[in-house]
Amino acid sequence: MALVNKKTMIVPDIYASIVTEKVEGQVKVAQLADNLGSLMDKEVGETVTFPVWKRINDAEDIEPGTAMTSVDMEQKSSTATIKMIAAPGIRVYDYDNVVALGNAIQEGAAQQGTSIARKLDIDLINEAKKTAFKKQLAAKNIITEDELLGALEMYGDDRDTADFAAIVVHSKFATSFYKMDGFVKRDLTYVADNNASTVVNGVIGSYMGIPVVLSDRLYDTTNTEGYFLIVKKHSLGYMPKENPFVETNRDASKRLTEVFCSQIYAVKLIDEAGIVLCQSVVG
């Protein structure tokens, strides 16, 4: 199926599929969020409730013959506002498309996809920063292995490797990880073979079986420092109304097509005990 239509120049549905593919390949934090359903019947500015279940108490001793009690499953109120984001629109002239063999359109779709992916990540990162679990580091953009272990201790005994989604770090922390024995020494049973040697989709390796992912969206401009997040599975939620939506505007007088790309969604921190924020300045 052709991306370019001779009459309208750009086929929006096909262009949108390229943008969507780029978004899925570029997100770092959004790939850790649970997709909790569509917002098809909701509009921008409305609120939506995310499912956050209260935990029941631990089991207790009872005597044989004693009736067991029950409690209702309850949800805490957890709402988010539906928002719309838009990548910068692009203009493609017929002449440029002909001489570049369609590369201008492919490049535009890729760049708009990256733009949306980064914005989606930023919105989820801002939700993640609302966690109550925060570990103060001794210095900017540096973490020691003892500090990392201290951050993991905040989960108590609830830290099975399989329960974690990733450790997402600003690239300034990469050097700290490369200096950790627990990250690079292959004689340790929990160090993966490819750590510190191969980077795939931003993953530089794993620490105690938890993937370590680079994302420069984790940067505090106020304190001029990077930070990182330890993220458990099912801690972040995401509700899209649509895939990236593409509209075109044809200006026949100039033989150009403008392409606009937007998306509507809501995001939420849905497990306040699932994320640890690590930074030298914590609020």
Residue range 268-281: mean pLDDT, rounded: 94
278: closest CA among 132, 129, 136, 126?
136
Q: What pLDDT digit, counting tens, does each position of 100-143 carry?
A: 545 788 889 999 999 999 999 999 999 999 999 999 999 999 99
**Smallest Cα–Cα separation from 96: which of 10, 2, 155?**
10
Q: What is the mean pLDDT of residues 197-211?
A: 78
| Spatial CB neighbours of 250, under 8 Å, sequence gap ≥ 6 | 8, 9, 256, 257, 258
Residue 1 is predicted with a pLDDT of 45
Q: Are strands 219-220 and 225-226 parallel, antiparallel or unpaired?
A: antiparallel
Tokens of 261: 């790309």
Chain position carrying tokens 């770092």: 28
**Burial of 106: CB neighbours in 10 Å, binned 0-12, 13-18, 19+:** middle
Q: Which CATH architecture has domain 12-53+77-128+237-269?
A: 2-Layer Sandwich (3.30)
Give percent of the chain with pLDDT exceeding 70: 88
Rounded CA-CA distance 79/95 in Å is 48
In the predicted model, what is the mean pLDDT of residues 35-55? Answer: 87
Mean pLDDT for 66-89 is 89
Query: What CA–CA distances, in Å, run from 260 to 46, 116, 250?
Result: 23, 12, 11
- Domain boundaries of the chain, sorted by first residue: 12-53+77-128+237-269, 133-236+273-279
Is the Cα dihedral 186, 190, 191, 194 positive or negative?
positive
Q: What pLDDT does 202 receive? A: 82
Scored b (16 or more CB within 10 A) or e, 211-232 reads bbbbbebbbeeeeebbbbbbbb
> pLDDT for 162-180, tens place per residue?
999 999 999 999 999 999 9
Q: Is the dihedral of CA 276, 79, 122, 3 positive or negative?
A: positive
Q: Is the pLDDT of residue 211 over 70?
A: yes
Residue type, 85: I
Q: Model's pTM, two decimal places?
A: 0.85
Structural contact between residues 268 and 126, judged by C-beta atoms closer than 8 angstroms: no
Tokens in use for 212? 């370590």
- Specify the CATH architecture of the domain 133-236+273-279: 2-Layer Sandwich (3.30)
What is the average per-residue pLDDT within 79-93? 94
Tokens of 147: 């500090």
Do residues 211 and 233 make contact, with C-beta atoms less than 8 angstroms apart?
Answer: no
Q: In angstroms, rounded to a whole number, what is the distance separating the alpha carbons of residues 56 and 71?
A: 8
